[in-house]
Amino acid sequence: MKEFQKIIRDTYYNKDSKRGVAGTFNWFTEEVGELARAIRKGKDLEDEFADVCAWLFSLANIMGVDMKEATKKYSKGCPKCGKIPCICL
């Protein structure tokens, strides 16, 4: 995860930081829409999941969020009930 975030930073940080948080978030949400269409059609799934991940990590980069640290929230299962699988109602 750390390596992927670095690749995204090295590749896109300059462009995305100039675009700013709002502009980058807009691109991210557009990619989520493209993923939704791909899910409905049942095709191009890997490409669209990859694009959503790339834009999410790019947004994290310009916001100064370490995704490896952020995902620790779920490292022991559900953060609410603490179980795997989740038993929350």
Quick: pLDDT tens for 33-75: 999 999 999 999 999 999 999 999 999 999 999 999 999 999 9
What is the reported pLDDT for 84?
98
Indicate the pTM of the whole model: 0.93
What is the reported pLDDT for 22?
98
CA distance 14 to 23: 13
What is the reported pLDDT for 87?
98
What is the reported pLDDT for 39?
98
- Taken in order of first residue, the domains within the chain and their CATH numbers are 2-74 (1.10.287.1080)
What average pLDDT does the structure give for the chain?
97
Mean pLDDT of 76-88: 97
**Exposed / middle / buried, residue 67 (Cβ in 10 Å: 0-12, 13-18, 19+):** middle
What is the reported pLDDT for 19?
96
Instruction: Write the CB contacts of 24 (distance below 8 Å, at least 6 apart in sequence).
Output: 16, 55, 58, 59, 62
